[in-house]
Structure 1
């Protein structure tokens, strides 16, 4: 029910359109930019529902309890324990290894607030899990979710990051001043 409400909000109320096609890849990093508002989660669930695609996201395990577990799982949530010896890159890479189909949405800013630089874990996960990156823009000004072509990391971090960032030039988030491009 919540997924359907998100879909109605995204496409009927907010008037978003989807441009581009979701690929058939079984394993992907879905790189979603910009992430400037909690409303981006609603749009993401709305798009996931419209496309009928299995796309996951990670959430701190502390948010999981007897009231929220089924809710988050139904939306594609995967709890992550940030304690211990394994870092998030290792833990998410393990999720790729342990699932036949695994596509995970990651916001490179790592927060809704303005940041100077993107977090680069998504890139390292893609290399470690041997998967491609699907750039997706949430452009609130154009009311458009733009699905770009699948990007294959080359192991040249600087050039790859520059190429990925160039795709998002001009894209405006819900709160534009919270975006760093």
Structure 2
């Protein structure tokens, strides 16, 4: 099935970068820009092409029948955003439950323009002791994939800015959203 979906993507003119995290079994993947629901479809096909088992956190309100069954099969983990539990603790715990897991985050937290990125992915990676890889979907050039590993320095705000600098070159489906050059 993954090969079929990948070939459909290829027929639509898309290319997936061959570079991927070799030998890595657990990681955080920070994907940007996130400007369309199509990002999910293209991203899942790309991760399937790489053979990488991905999970993603998504609001629990979307886990109604029958959509909930599909979301779980695709790697969705329901999150109660109104509950006062520590999401970082929950996410760190997932890494102890799986031998192979790439937990995918879109730090913009929305498909709209948002210069204030959520920082949970960063803290989860630190606490779980897993690497951060940068992912992208570039609609302008119809490419997607990994933009390498990111090495955190401990300066969260400075590191978020550096991640934006690395990913600003990629265009989201909605050009007015995503990372803007004046941010970096």
The TM-score bracket by the shorter chain reads 0.7 to 0.9
How many residue pairs match? The answer is 180
Aligned mates of 1:15, 1:58 — CA distance in 2: 26
Matches within 5 A, 1:1-181: 6-181=5-180
Mapped contact 1:114–1:179 kept (Cα < 8 A) = yes
Deviation of the 1:153 alpha carbon? 1.9
Mapped contact 2:28–2:125 kept (Cα < 8 A) = yes
Q: Secondary structure at the match of 1:49?
A: helix
Mapped contact 1:56–1:104 kept (Cα < 8 A) = yes
Aligned mates of 1:99, 1:148 — CA distance in 2: 24
Mapped contact 1:37–1:175 kept (Cα < 8 A) = yes
Q: Give the alignment's TM-score, normalised by structure 2.
A: 0.87
Deviation of the 1:57 alpha carbon? 0.9
Aligned mates of 1:168, 1:60 — CA distance in 2: 25
Higher mean C-alpha displacement, 20-29 vs 167-176: 20-29
Q: Give the alignment's TM-score, normalised by structure 1.
A: 0.88
Unmatched segments (≥5 aa) in structure 2: none
Mapped contact 2:168–2:179 kept (Cα < 8 A) = no
Aligned mates of 2:94, 2:125 — CA distance in 1: 12
Mapped contact 1:7–1:45 kept (Cα < 8 A) = no
Mapped contact 1:139–1:173 kept (Cα < 8 A) = yes
Aligned mates of 1:9, 1:37 — CA distance in 2: 19
Unmatched segments (≥5 aa) in structure 1: none
Give me the CA root mean square deviation: 2.0
